[in-house]
Amino acid sequence: MSKVRVLVGTRKGAFILESDGKRQKWDISGPHFAGWELYHVKGSPVDPDRLYASQSSGWFGQLIQRSNDGGKTWEPVDNKFVYDGVPGTHQWYDGKPHPWEFKRVWHLEPSLTDPDTVYAGVEDAALFRTTDGGKSWHELSGLRGHGSGSRWQPGAGGMGLHTILLDPSNSQRMYIAISAAGTFRTDDDGTTWKPINRGLKSEYIPDPDAEVGHCVHRIALHQSRPNVLFMQKHWDIMRTDDAGEQWREVSGNLPTDFGFVIDVHAHEPETIYVVPIKSDREHYPMDGKLRVFRSKIGGDEWEPLTKGLPQSDCYVDVLREAMAVDSLDSCGVYFGTTGGQVYASADAGDSWMPIVRDLPAVLSVEVQTLA
Amino acid sequence: MIRIVLPAHLRTLAKISGEVELDVEGPVTQRSVLDALEARYPMLQGTIRDHVTQQRRAFVRFFACEQDLSHESPDVLLPDAVASGAEPFLVVGAIAGGLGLELH
């Protein structure tokens, strides 16, 4: 019988939740790396017992942990992220050039074909890769060096490379997103990159439709249709049907289009999920109601999903890395909150239940569907 | 023989219980002690000093003999009591102050 393993990164450690395919009863292990911030934990698609975790602290910096047994045991691997060559500068908050400085790993994306190859998105924004299971990391410096890097500027939360999408149909292509620079694509395995932000409009930057500078919060794709991307921008839900050459807004009837997460149903490429947050001044849901919104036509028309979610006095946030789906026949959808709840739906969002309630603030949620 | 006391998070990371005892060749300085520590426990590299600059991480402090040695040059000799093993060299995580903003 199929199993599901949910990997949860929090402000104070990692937790692993496992259930059978019914997804009603959950076993919880953790905290792993108690007291540390776990920005992201993710498993290899080709070896589900191979997990990678980004562990960091304001005191002791960055660590990368690897597990070969599904999270039962872990070993630290290389934590040295050194920018390639002379790092140069990007824009600082005051508009002056500021040297690139490594702060932490926001996102780990294991290869679709090789468990020893992993991409790491870091702050200050750059992309690294290991091909030896984390024993060494090397920057794919063409991203920072493509021309606009010196104009990138951090948002209030730092200048992190937070999303890495690998194209399952084209091993040379991947997409990344950076706050607050925008979205970029490579078609030659990370050697060269181009900004793909045409169609984005951001009123909080001097030139609203600039080539770079957009605060993209998250992008997502469906494995069967990797040229179609969905985006939760700072404000606005966007989609592109041509691999990012042109975006259009699909916020439609959402009550607010600010938010962080966005994801796609495992079997329905036009069914997408967001969790609208009231505003960038008030990082909590509107009216104290925690609602997931689902569109079954790829945006524009959205329906609120509320069954099992708190509909009064709820003021948690759902951060960019904190939503994922499983690939069981009835698609499961999961998200975590800054209040420490992880909610799951075993019926594609129609109904929800908290599978754990009182964790530290949730930073990331990933799901593995196990045979 | 040099005695080193690490903060709990780093003892867990390095799978150490209690103090670390190390022999250090040559002058006993912050640099030589930390070099020897990281040679025995490579997983500590980058957690006390920056990988590239080898500067002390901002929220790590070095204490010994009831003195704060954090701002000393890494090449200054440590107190004789540390060099002889009479007193430990303490690596300490700085007090956060409870603001709960950047430091959680």
Confidence bin at B98 (pLDDT 50/70/90): low
Residue whose token pair is 């794919």: A140
**What are the two backbone dihedrals, phi and then psi, of residue B54, each rounded to the nearest 5 degrees?**
65, 15
Are the CB atoms for A64 and A110 separated by under 8 Å?
no
Q: Is B43 on the interface with A (CB under 8 A)?
A: yes
Query: Comparing A149-158, A160-169, A295-304, which segment has the lowest mean pLDDT?
Result: A149-158
CATH of residue A264's domain is: 2.130.10.10
Using an 8 Å CB-CB cutoff, list chain B residues near A11.
104
Using an 8 Å CB-CB cutoff, list chain B residues near A60.
7, 9-10, 13, 47-48, 57, 60, 93
Residue A366 lies in a domain: no
Interface of A with B in 54-113 (CB under 8 A): 57-63, 76, 79-82
Tokens at A176, concatenated: 């990344």
**Structure pTM?**
0.95
Q: Is B93 on the interface with A (CB under 8 A)?
A: yes
Average pLDDT over residues A52-78: 97
Across chain A, mean pLDDT equals 96
At residue A181, the pLDDT reads 93
Using an 8 Å CB-CB cutoff, list chain A residues near B102.
58
Query: Comparing A84-93, A351-360, B14-23, which segment has the lowest mean pLDDT?
Result: A84-93
Residue A144 lies in a domain: yes
Contact A62 B46 (CB under 8 A): yes
Residue A20 lies in a domain: no
Of all residues in chain A, the one with the smallest CA distance to B7 is A60
Residue A1 lies in a domain: no
Nearest to B51 among A57, A59, A80 (CB): A80
> How does pLDDT run across A170-181, given as a tens digit for each residue?
999 999 999 989
Are the CB atoms for B54 and B74 separated by under 8 Å?
yes
At residue A237, the pLDDT reads 98
> How does pLDDT run across A284-338, given as a tens digit for each residue?
999 999 999 999 999 999 999 999 999 999 999 999 999 999 999 999 999 999 9
Contact B94 A59 (CB under 8 A): yes
Query: Comparing A148-162, A311-325, B2-16, which segment has the lowest mean pLDDT?
Result: A148-162
Q: d(Cα B99, Cα B104) in Å, to the nearest integer?
A: 8
Residue A295 lies in a domain: yes
Best CA proximity match to A164, nearest among A91, A216, A114: A216
How many structural domains comprise chain A?
1
Q: Please name the residues in contact with A163: beta carbons below 8 A apart, sequence gap of 6 or more.
A: A107, A121, A175, A176, A177, A216, A218, A219, A320
Using an 8 Å CB-CB cutoff, list chain A residues near B51.
79-82
Residue A33 lies in a domain: no
Q: d(Cα B41, Cα A60) in Å, to the nearest integer?
A: 15
> Is residue B47 scored above 70 in pLDDT?
yes
Could you give the percent of chain A with pLDDT greater than 90?
91
Of all residues in chain B, the one with the smallest CA distance to A35 is B9
At residue B97, the pLDDT reads 66
Residue A49 lies in a domain: no
Question: What's at A225, amino acid-wise?
Answer: R
Q: Is B81 on the interface with A (CB under 8 A)?
A: no
Q: d(Cα A298, Cα A295) in Å, to the nearest integer?
A: 6
Q: d(Cα A75, Cα A55) in Å, to the nearest integer?
A: 12
Of all residues in chain A, the one with the smallest CA distance to B59 is A59
Q: Mutate which of B9, B55, B70 to test chain A, going by most A C-beta atoms within 10 A?
A: B9
> How does pLDDT run across A99-113, given as a tens digit for each residue?
999 999 999 999 999
Fold of B2-93: Ubiquitin-like (UB roll) (3.10.20)
> How does pLDDT run across A236-271, given as a tens digit for each residue?
999 999 999 999 999 999 999 999 999 999 999 999
Contact A35 B9 (CB under 8 A): yes
Could you give the percent of chain A with pLDDT greater than 70?
100
Of all residues in chain B, the one with the smallest CA distance to A10 is B104
Residue A129: give the domain boundaries: 58-357
Contact B60 A59 (CB under 8 A): yes
- Shortest distance between the Cα of A99 and any Cα of chain B, in A, equals 14
At residue B99, the pLDDT reads 54
- Shortest distance between the Cα of A11 and any Cα of chain B, in A, equals 7
Give the strand pairing for A97-99 and A89-91.
Answer: antiparallel
Are the CB atoms for A274 and A232 separated by under 8 Å?
yes
Query: Comparing A13-17, B34-38, B47-51, B93-97, which segment has the lowest mean pLDDT?
Result: B93-97
Residue A125 lies in a domain: yes
Q: Classify the C-alpha dihedral B17-A76-A63-A262 as positive or negative.
A: negative
Separation of CA A136 from chain center:
23
Q: Is B13 on the interface with A (CB under 8 A)?
A: yes
Best CA proximity match to B19, nearest among B95, B84, B87: B87
Confidence bin at A205 (pLDDT 50/70/90): confident
Query: Comparing A314-328, A357-371, B86-100, which segment has the lowest mean pLDDT?
Result: B86-100
At residue A145, the pLDDT reads 87
